[in-house]
Amino acid sequence: MSTHEVWYVSYGSNLSWARLNCYLAGGHPPGALRAQPGARDPRPPAEDRPVELFGRLYFWGRSTTWAGATAFYDHHTAGPTAARAYRVTVAQLTDIAEQEMHREPGAASALEAALTGGFDGAYRAGPGRYETLVNAGTLDGLPMYTLTSPHRVDSSPHATPSEPYLATMRAGLAESHGWNREAIDRYLGRWLPAGAG
């Protein structure tokens, strides 16, 4: 189990510390329809920081966890996207990613090996949602990785998230960036389908 540190960068519901912690310690996020088993190493992140990603946020698909669309990140299309970087171990990020992919976290995997070795650009762990890991640069000398879909913003039919999902994002944006509700709604309104939110 790799203890090498990296930054996991979230731009969706994991902006919320309480939601992210369910991937580490296990538990049922408020408003979600399913619980998470947690990571092999359940310790909280060593640190977290507000960051801004170059690419663009969009909402797509229908989540069995949230009963609505979820957020994705297109690193090829200019944004910017407000995000939160959590300093975790490679093993923790692997287990977060496995749970995002609706797989049980477990023993060392090809994904853990790829993160341990590091990579530029993107690494595809599979064809599904959140199975593409993107290297988003460095922070304090450590690589930043985020999870997204292999699809581009202009090739994905945009959809509306559920209110519990948006509430979780709003909480995370307030925690990480210190924004008030007006600023949060203005930001989300740039990316939500017309009439949503």
- For the chain, which residues make up each domain, given as ranges? 5-191
Conformation bin of residue 88: beta by default, left when phi > 0, alpha when psi is -120 to 50: beta
Arithmetic mean of pLDDT, 101-112: 84
**Confidence bin at 67 (pLDDT 50/70/90):** very high
**Confidence bin at 195 (pLDDT 50/70/90):** low
Residues of the chain with pLDDT > 70, as a percent, come to 97
The full DSSP string for 16-50 is: SHHHHHHHHH-B--TT-SS-B---SS-PPPSEEEE
- Tell me the pTM: 0.95
Taking Cα atoms as reference points, which of 121, 83, 89 lies closest to residue 105?
Answer: 89
Cα separations (Å) of 36 from 23, 48, 98? 6, 21, 11
pLDDT tens digit string along 123-137? 998 888 899 999 999
Residue-level pLDDT at 65? 93
Q: Which fold has domain 5-191?
A: Hypothetical upf0131 protein ytfp (3.10.490)
Is residue 197 predicted with pLDDT exceeding 60? no
Q: How far does CA 176 lie from the centroid of its chain?
A: 14
Is residue 196 predicted with pLDDT exceeding 70? no
